[in-house]
Amino acid sequence: MLYLLLIQLIILPVYDAQQNFQYDYYWILFSYDIDGVKYTNDSDYEHKEGTFAFQDVALEEHEKFLIRQNLNPYDFIHDAYLVIISIPRTRPGIPFTLNYFSRFDYGKEPMLKPFPNSKDGKELISVFNMFEDSCFRLWFVDTGYLDIPGVRKQVKPASLLLYSNLPKPEFQFRKDIDSAFLHNGITSGLRSLSVDFILPCSESYVYITDDTTRDLIVFSLQDLRFTKISRASNTADSWKFIVPQFETQYRLEVEKYRKRPNETYEHYVDFLTSTNQLYEPRSDSRPRVSS
């Protein structure tokens, strides 16, 4: 039996390596199409279509407009029409933190375009994770923080943004996150989020993880307000009810336990903010509803 197992372990990797995979898209380095201006090389300056610029000024690294090798994607959202890519500004030469390309663009190496457009895209500072819910809405947090070595600074307050009607995005709102919900005003840890909603989508809750404290910031779409869930102990064990390891799985836990269709975060907030005891699944007599 052991002999057969060893044969399988030897053969399977070889078999897998011989499988043929077809790439939909591939890049060595990203290129840009910004309002018709094509960037296939690094550029110290932004250019406008139909104009010429002659500049011979030595720039610091952080002042350069585009350094293609620094365009490292962090998150992808894709549907039948668009692929949206986040590139947090943790390095210089990143002109836009949110970008997209159409799945109908010709070629295997489509150029990035600023999301949702170049004008509004410039107002976004740094985005990590995004979330597209089943209501065709795109949610994300702009940390407002430039995390470029040597020039780290808070450019604007962190905020939650919502776009609807994908694949033709329509801006819905931008809601700043009050510094009172943050640890010493630090916003760079606002990287992950998840969304829970009850049809027809108006009752929605966004769960934002603060990686600097392991707290959870919850946004109610109906009330347009934030609340904060924290525990006396910020270890993984103290979050056993909601999320072993990852707070943004909170949404999944609420879905499993709530009585559909009318229960969501509000019905659990008192229990979840309690620091008196940890949740013990074996002693829970409530029926577990599959999500």
How high is the pLDDT of residue 258?
A: 53
Structural domain of 191: 24-283
- Give a yes or no: residue 122 inside a domain: yes
- Give a yes or no: residue 206 inside a domain: yes
- Give a yes or no: residue 143 inside a domain: yes
- Give a yes or no: residue 57 inside a domain: yes
- pLDDT by residue for the chain (291 residues), tens digit each? 434 333 343 444 444 445 566 667 778 899 999 999 999 999 999 987 655 555 667 788 888 999 999 999 999 998 878 999 999 999 999 999 999 998 887 677 899 999 999 999 999 999 999 999 888 899 999 999 999 988 999 999 999 999 987 778 899 999 999 998 888 888 888 988 888 777 778 878 888 888 887 778 889 898 898 988 765 554 444 443 333 334 445 555 555 555 544 555 555 555 455 433 344 444 444 333 333
How high is the pLDDT of residue 286?
A: 37
How high is the pLDDT of residue 186?
A: 84
Number of structural domains in the chain: 1
How high is the pLDDT of residue 52?
A: 57
- Give a yes or no: residue 222 inside a domain: yes
How high is the pLDDT of residue 228?
A: 83
How high is the pLDDT of residue 91?
A: 95
- Give a yes or no: residue 86 inside a domain: yes
The three-state DSSP-derived secondary structure of the chain is: CHHHHHHHHHHHHHHHHCCCCCCCCCCCCCCEEECCEEECCCECCCCCCCCCCCCCCCCCHHHCCECHHHCCCCEEEECCCEEEEECCCCCCCCCCCEEEEECCCCCCCCCEEECCCHHHHCCCCCEEEEEECCCCCEEEEECCEECCCCCCEECCCCEEEEEECCCCCEEEEEEECCHHHCCCCCCCCEEEEEEEEECCCCEEEEEEEECCCCEEEEEECCCCEEEEECCCCCCHHHHCCCCCCCHHHHHHHHHHHCCCCCCCHHHCHHHHCCCCCCCCHHHCCCCCCCC
- Give a yes or no: residue 15 inside a domain: no
